[in-house]
Homo-oligomer: A and B are copies of this chain.
Amino acid sequence: MMTNMTIYDISEKAGVSIATVSRVLNGSSSVSEKTRKKVLDVMDRYGYTPNAFARGLGLNTMKTIGIMCADSSDLYLAKAVYYIEQLLRSNGYDSLLCCTGYDLKTKEQSMDLLISKKVDSIILVGSNFIYEQDSDNKYIRDAAAEVPVMLLNAVLKAPNVYSIVSDDYASMREAASQMIASGRKDILYFYNSASYSGRRKLAGYRAAMREAGLLRENGLLQFYTGSHEDIHAMAGQLEKVKSEGLFFNGVIAADDNLALGAVKYAQKNGLKIPEELSVIGYNNSLLTTCCDPELTSIDNKLETLCQHLTATLMGVLNGEKMPEEAVFSGEIIHRGTTLLQS
């Protein structure tokens, strides 16, 4: 198997022109069966693979999609990347992955990089790419001027930007309502992100609390800033809250990691779950079955979201008119950390 053959080499060996080779390569119908076979034969024999650059140069597309993701080692984001990558490939596209971190500057850089690599579209995985201050979202609008931009779990209304989201607001509101209905009044909200989705979740919690007349001025809101893998630090923060005299018998967390922090806190302090402390997480990840009792969590239908995102993207790339926004509802999966409604 020789390396770096070109279309010229093949055409020579097969005794045809490069145009014919190109036609065979692209499955053009106007090649006689005989010639096709002859060319294919030569290609096979020499293990020829076309040079994607040259092809890309002419076509100005590499059949490659850029995926941006703040941290692909995050359980939730990793899963999303996994689904998306598979779906794209089954559609004949490859994925250029960029783990951007959470800093705006590096996100902008990654974006430029992907654009310069001539990706056909950019997928932003996770809601942390959208900023509250609209001017900070300029980098997305700029990118959308070049290629379609797909948002997973975030919304930005702009031309050529498509948003696929789970209704985090509704899910959180329902979760909080159910916990209230089960008799809890002092429900702490534990979160670590002010992203789009983060704000929607918080709003859902607040709506439910307000509805029940339980909303207090920020006392029961705990923002966690440590590592998303450091369960002990999470538990530690709750201990501190408690030691400062704040009572709570329920925790609603913005993700399963944080919820596990609450479970750990209860274990360390001998609190019985769910009787003395109820906990609800978010994402319905692997983590829900790791603890004892197991974690009630909200399933936000990640796979469905990814499927829909990919389908929408393929539509857009084919020039079809597609919906700019799609909202899917989540589902609460009850496990051992919550009481049944009374």
Contact = CB atoms under 8 A, between A and B. Distances in A.
Interface in A86-117: 86, 89, 94-99, 112-113, 115-117
B286 A229 contact: yes
Given A94-B113, A267-B292, A291-B291, A99 B73 contact: no
Nearest to A266: B292
Given A94-B98, A99-B85, A117-B94, A53 B49 contact: no
Interface stretch (A76-84, A155-163, A188-196, A245-253): A76-84
A78 B73 contact: yes
Contacts of A201: none
Given A115-B49, A116-B50, A260-B290, A72 B75 contact: no
Contacts of A115: 49
A62 interface: yes
A325 interface: no
A291 B290 contact: yes
Interface centre among A115, A145, A231, A290 (most CB of B within 10 A): A290
Nearest to A114: B94
A287 B289 contact: no
B291 A3 contact: no
Q: Kindly report how many copies of this chain are found in the complex they form together.
A: 2
Nearest to A84: B99
Task: Give the contact-size bracket for chain A.
Answer: 35 or more
Given A73-B79, A75-B75, A94-B113, 20 more contacts: A49-B116, A52-B117, A53-B62, A53-B118, A57-B57, A62-B117, A72-B72, A72-B78, A72-B81, A73-B82, A82-B99, A85-B98, A86-B99, A94-B96, A94-B117, A229-B286, A231-B290, A267-B292, A287-B290, A290-B290
Interface pairs A-B: 10 shortest CB-CB: A73-B82, A78-B78, A53-B56, A290-B290, A97-B97, A49-B116, A53-B57, A73-B79, A231-B289, A72-B82
Interface of A: 1, 3, 49-54, 56-57, 60, 62, 64, 67, 71-73, 75, 78-79, 81-83, 85-86, 89, 94-99, 112-113, 115-118, 142, 145-146, 229, 231-232, 257, 260, 264, 267, 286-287, 289-292
